[in-house]
Amino acid sequence: MNQPLKIAVAGLGTVGGGTLKLLRKHAALLEHRCGRAIVVSAVSARDREKDRGVPVDGIRWFDDPLAMAADADVDVVVELIGGEDGIAKELCEAAIANAKHVVTANKALIAHHGTALAHSAEAAGVTLAYEAAVAGGIPIVKTLCEGLAANSLSRVYGILNGTCNFILTAMRESGREFAEVLAEARALGYAEADPSLDVDGVDTAHKLAILASLAFGCEINFAAVHIEGIRHVTLMDIRFAEELGYHIKLLGIAGVTGEGVEQRVHPCMVPLSAPIAHVEGVFNAVVADGDFVDTIMQEGRGSGAGPTASAVVADLVDIARRRNVPTFAVPAKDLKRLPAVPMERHRGAYYIRLMVLDRPGVFADVAAALRDHDVSMESVLQRGRAPGEAVPVVMTIHETEEAAMQGALREIGALEAVVEAPRMIRIESF
């Protein structure tokens, strides 16, 4: 009879508690599917007395997770503490040094230290698995590593943060502004007390950096990700987007070109003809473009105890089955160091909204600034007249280089008749 796989769980918060519940509920099912049992042999958390909704009686408790990583009765360390550095990083390093497999849901850790950890894990002959770090219950890591292994991938993109997607969906459906919907997201538990990592795009950027490495076989380069959040998106922009045939989504987009890898996170105008435009609420979705499969999309819940625990346990199942796939789809020693394509070199179409004083000559000044930077308008929308008052003017711009667009916006923003900073959202042609 096969020996059970003995795991140690560090961190018993939402995901840790959910993982213990799943392992307990489906113990027989998992043993049947793996050919051996998955047993929780040890746990570690800050508070022994906290009620987590799942019993830990009879499971060895470690106050020091590093000591747990060295325990002889542990095969796998499950890191659910969080944070890019500190004890989470030390725990993973200690586990690998002690020849333990590591499963983590920590996207910040993998985005910042994944390449180094992959080298260490592969040298030690153990697995470093992180399905739960990207898009919750969507099995995108396995898809890129295995399901699409026969394809050369040119682009991967997606809605990677449920908080932002909930906010943008609720703004559009309820007609409320960002601040009000953010307060609702906090009340519902979709947003943290400090939502900066979510709404400023950093959480999405962590996940995108991981996806880019998986898709393109390159070292993770989080520092090269261009990051913008959704704080500047207004209800007015959402209404104009609908009129133009778009929904606004915060996307992480990575593509490989002859110049290197482009990685960017920012709000996008997504055409209603694109399936990802209709992914709403707290749901995530990931799209990959391959040379043989063409385009595939996976959609599901991107966070929460259940979906994330499902992804954690999926990694444990692979380890229990003795399946060993390179951390980033190719051996760590073969990961390429591809150059980063700076955002200034990005080419695309743009939505621009100006608040300008309604008086003669203003539009001519705006058009002159665009002309001076070799930027061409596609269409213009202006609603109503209010002589002497500020009115919105919306333009869509033909494909141009980011540097030219930014130069034109700086010149336009300096015009005396432009009373607010110009609002710019990139248009994607999916």
Look up tokens 């819940």; give the residue: 301
Please return the burial class of 374, using the count of CB atoms within 10 Å of its CB with bins 0-12, 13-18 and 19+. Answer: exposed
For residue 125, the enclosing domain spans: 5-133
What is the tens place of the pLDDT at every residue in 132-183? 999 989 999 999 999 999 999 999 999 999 999 999 999 999 999 999 999 9
| Residue 421 shares a structural domain with residue 399 | yes
| Residue 127 shares a structural domain with residue 213 | no
What is the tens place of the pLDDT at every residue in 47-91? 877 877 788 888 999 999 999 999 999 999 999 999 998 999 999
Spatial separation of the C-alpha atoms in residues 205 and 211, rounded to whole Å: 10
Q: How many domains does the chain have?
A: 3
Spatial separation of the C-alpha atoms in residues 417 and 413, rounded to whole Å: 9
Spatial separation of the C-alpha atoms in residues 323 and 329, rounded to whole Å: 13
Residue 319 in any domain: the answer is: no
Instruction: Give yes or no for a contact between 251 and 427, defined as CB atoms under 8 angstroms apart.
Output: no
Residue 157 in any domain: the answer is: yes
CA atoms within a 13 Å half-sphere pointing along the CA-CB vector of 334 = 10
Among all residues, which ones are annotated catalytic? 207
| Residue 237 shares a structural domain with residue 125 | no
The structure's pTM equals 0.95
- What pLDDT score was predicted for residue 1? 55
| Residue 276 shares a structural domain with residue 397 | no
| Residue 18 shares a structural domain with residue 129 | yes
- Residue 131 phi/psi, 5° resolution? -55, -40
| Residue 162 shares a structural domain with residue 113 | no
What is the tens place of the pLDDT at every residue in 285-325? 999 999 999 999 999 998 889 999 999 999 999 999 999 88
What is the tens place of the pLDDT at every residue in 37-48? 999 999 999 887
| Residue 232 shares a structural domain with residue 355 | no
Spatial separation of the C-alpha atoms in residues 73 and 7, rounded to whole Å: 9
Look up tokens 């910040």; give the residue: 108
| Residue 148 shares a structural domain with residue 294 | yes
| Residue 126 shares a structural domain with residue 163 | no
